Amino acid sequence: MVKNCAFVFIKPQALTDKVKELAKSTLEAKGLKIDKEGQLDAKEIDEKMLIDKHYYAIASKATILKPDKLNVPNDKFKEQFGLDWTDALASGNCLNAKDACEKFEIDSAGLDEMWGAAKKSKNLVKLGGGFYCAKLEKKDKGTFYVFNGFFMSMRSKFVAEGSSIYYYVVEWDSATLTWADFRGKLLGPTDPADAPADSLRGAVLKDWKNLGLKSEPNTGDNAFHASASPFESLAERMNWLGHRVDRDHFGKLLLGAGVTRKQIKEWSVDPQVTWGPIAMTGSLFDTVEDLDSDWCLAKCQMMAGACNPRAKADLEVEIAKLKSHIAGYKQLHDSVMVIKEFVQVHAPKSQKKKESKEAVEEKPQARHRSGDRRGDGRGGEDRGDRGDRGDRGDRGDRGDRGDRDRRIGKGKGKGKGSRK
């Protein structure tokens, strides 16, 4: 039996007592056990940057990292803004979203408004997945290149005074509910409009007014969050609840499978990983998404062995090894080619008929020769000294006993003479 464990929370805009009651009753009705539940307030979320770490791929460019730590593709940046990235960075006019709010002396809503205007005027470029830069200008403040400015409005919903989240740590048997169904059917798709009516998101959308929400749920404000995989759940418990890897059930399984603490920490921010016999590169979170705990553990174990740094290989040596390996298959290649090129020769129909007719004619002759050999056994002509006795036996049926006796007498005389 495989146990799955997920981290679920009600988002600030949907946090009401009625939604909490709905969440608990729905989770338990579906057979999930609630191991732990509680509330985290805006102050703690802000001070510990919990939401920033939660949305790390996006937030790292907006609040955590400074522009000089970002991997900005120069070709895309220059194509959009007509300036080399190194020159822009050297000018000191590059800011993350958090610093942009301070520089422009605006809040998250003000930055969101400037960001929308830049997008509309096409002063914005996508540099990668969840990675954007916009050229923003404000009178008396100057012009700056700002990264992921949209994140600040997302963040404000979690850190605004009076905001909070309510979380649940739940577990269940994967035999009764797969992780994919946990997200797709119990939680519901990202867009509540697509969610089943009996899912958490579907139920909130259907009755949002009676549940006490101020506005109708949508793709951005969809009421609930739930872990996308067992590994992501571990990363979220480490972030939001401060769990230690060696004291977490799934964390202990990973350590026992050979995944190091260093790898778990690095993977918790969803890096790009390269692994597999045929090298594949992609988001770690995407790689293990919707897998139950046993499959997730197995894939993490495979990635742990493939993601360790490797010494730089000598290209010539590697080529020589490859050629040697290929040469080992030459005999097999030659054999396959012989089989592939083989063409069966079929005799013409007229020749087949002739051969068939000859075969039929030969069969009686073979039987006749066989009969001769059986006759010889009784005294045939080919038996040398016994030939006369063979003649005698052969002629025995042609006359009476007296004639046969006389012939026998003559035969004996000849026989003795011949032996002389």
Could you please report the per-residue DSSP string of 78-103?
HHHHSS-HHHHHHTT-EEEHHHHHHH
Q: Characterize 1-24 residue by residue with b for buried, 16 or more Cβ atoms within 10 angstroms of its Cβ, and e for exposed.
A: eeebbbbbbbbbbbbbeebbebbe
Regarding whether 266 and 197 lie in a shared domain, the answer is: no
pLDDT of residue 314: 75
User: Does one domain contain both 22 and 137?
Assistant: yes
Judge whether 318 lies within some domain: no
Please say whether the beta carbons of 273 and 289 come within 8 A: no
Question: Residue 119 domain-assigned?
Answer: yes
* Residues 190 and 223 sit within 8 Å (Cβ to Cβ): no
Domains contained in the chain, number: 3
Q: Is residue 369 part of a domain?
A: no
Q: What integer pLDDT is reported at residue 379 of this predicted model?
A: 43
pLDDT digits (tens, 9 = 90+) for 186-217: 999 999 999 999 999 999 999 999 999 999 99
Checking if the pLDDT of 416 tops 80, the result is: no
Mark whether 15 and 60 lie in a shared domain: yes
The first and second tokens of residue 332, run together, are 């097999």
312 DSSP assignment:
P
- Domain end (from 278, 306, 334): 306
> Which of 284, 306, 328 marks a domain boundary?
306
Query: Domain boundary at 177, 197, 226, which?
Result: 226
Q: Is 322 a domain residue?
A: no
Q: Are residues 59 and 187 in the same domain?
A: yes
**Is position 150 within any domain?**
yes
Does residue 98 lie in a domain region?
Answer: yes
Check residue 351 and give its pLDDT.
62
Residues 117 and 20 in one domain: yes
Query: What is the residue range of 279's domain?
Result: 230-306
What digits encode the pLDDT tens for the residues 12-51?
999 999 999 999 999 999 999 999 999 999 999 999 999 9
Q: Is residue 350 part of a domain?
A: no
Does residue 300 share a domain with residue 398? no
Q: Is the pTM of this model over 0.85?
A: no
Distance CA 64, CA 411 (A): 129
Give the pair of three-digit tokens for residue 235. Answer: 């990363």
Closest CA to 195 of 168, 153, 160, 226: 226
